[in-house]
Amino acid sequence: MTGQSPKPVVLLYEAIHPAGLAVLEGRAEVRYAPGWSEAAVRPILGDVAGIIIRANGHITRPLMEAAPRLQVVGRHGVGVDNVDIAAATELGIVVVNTPEANVEAVAEHALGLMIALAKRMVEGDRALRRGEWDARYRLIGRELRGCTLGVVGGGRIGSRVADMAHHAFGARVVYCDVVPQPALEEALGAERVGLEVLLHRADVVTLHVPLTPATRGLIGARELALMKPTALLINTSRGAVVDEAALAEALRAGRIAGAGLDVYAEEPAPADHPLCALPQAILTPHMAAHTEEALRNMSLVTEDVMAVIEGREPRYRANPPRP
C-alpha cells in the first residue's frame, strides 16, 4: 500500500474473533501481517498506528522504531513477555492487554488437567483404543478431595483455580506470591508460604506467574526434588517457567507422579519433545484460553487500541506513561 490511509491502520498478527473486528469496522483500516518474523512485518509498518499481537511473534524495539506512527500495541491475552515493554515506554507507545478476559477459561483448563492426571483419564483412553480393557486394573487413580493445592502466583487466574479446587474438592490452599493476597486468604483460608514450603506440602502445584527474569526456570531440578513423589505439576502460565528437561527426568525417575502442561519453552512444541514420550504427562497445545467466550473477550483488546488511537485513556494499560 502506498500513501497515507484516511483511517488509522491497525495491524493484526493473527485473526481475531469477529466481535473484536466489529470494534474496528469503520474506524480503522485492518491489515494482516504476512508472517510473524521481524523480516516479514518490518516493511509494512510505515503507516501503522496500532498493532495487535497474540501468542506468536514478538514486538521488538527495532520493529517499534520502524513504525513512526505507532501509538499502541495490543496484546490479545494476558502475558506481555513478547512485547519489549521498556522500549515501548521509552518510545511513548502504549501497551494494552486483556487481563480479565481468559481467567475462567484458563482456570477451568488447569482444573481439568488436575482431574485428568489424578484419574489417569488419558492413559485409560489410549489403553481402550488399543483394546486393553484390563488396563482398568492397573490404571489406579486417586481422589483430589482434601488435597493441598499449591498456587504459585495468586493473581486473577491463580485465585480462581484456588477457589474452584477449594469448593469442588475441599482443597486446602497454600500460595506463593511476591505480594500478599488478603482476599484469597479471607475467602478460602489460604496460607501464604515460601516456594520451598509450598513445594514440600502441596499434592498439586499449579503455576500462574508471568514470564520475567525472576520466574524463568523457577521450577528446576532442585525444586522438583522438593515435591512429593505423589505430587502433580500443572503449568498454564509460560513454558520457560519450568525446566522441561528436568521435569522429564523427574517424571521418568518417579520423583513426581505427573505433569499437565499447556505451554512450552519453544512454541510450537516439537513432536519429539522429551515429555511427549511420557504417559505421566498430559500435554495440550497452548489452548487453555481457546474457548468461544475467552476468544471473544480477548479480541476486545481492540476497544483499548482504538481508545489510545482516538486520544482516550485505555481501560487496561500494561506499561507506565513515558517519564
Question: What CATH number should be reported for the domain whose range is 103-283?
Answer: 3.40.50.720
| Burial classification of residue 233, based on how many CB atoms lie within 10 Å of its CB (0-12 exposed, 13-18 middle, 19 or more buried) | buried
- The domain limits of the chain are 9-101+293-309, 103-283
273 is catalytic: no
pLDDT for res 34: 95
Q: Do domains 9-101+293-309 and 103-283 have the same CATH topology?
A: yes
CA-CA distance, 97 to 318, in Å (whole number)? 6
CA torsion sign for 80, 85, 88, 89 is positive
Q: Which position among 65, 267, 293, 310 bears the catalytic label?
A: 267
Q: Which position among 54, 238, 255, 273 bears the catalytic label?
A: 238
- Tell me if 44 sits within 8 A of 34, measured CB to CB: yes
Measure CA of the first residue to CA of the last residue in the chain; give whole Å.
35
CA-CA distance, 105 to 292, in Å (whole number)? 9
- Tell me if 300 sits within 8 A of 75, measured CB to CB: no
pLDDT for res 322: 81
286 is catalytic: yes
pLDDT for res 1: 42
pLDDT for res 4: 53
Task: Give average pLDDT by consecutive 10-residue segment, the chain, 323 residues.
Answer: 72 97 97 94 97 95 97 96 96 97 98 98 98 97 98 98 98 97 97 98 98 96 98 98 98 98 95 96 97 98 98 96 82
pLDDT for res 124: 98
| Nearest residue to 296 via CA among 104, 164, 10 | 104
Q: Does domain 9-101+293-309 have CATH number 3.40.50.720?
A: yes
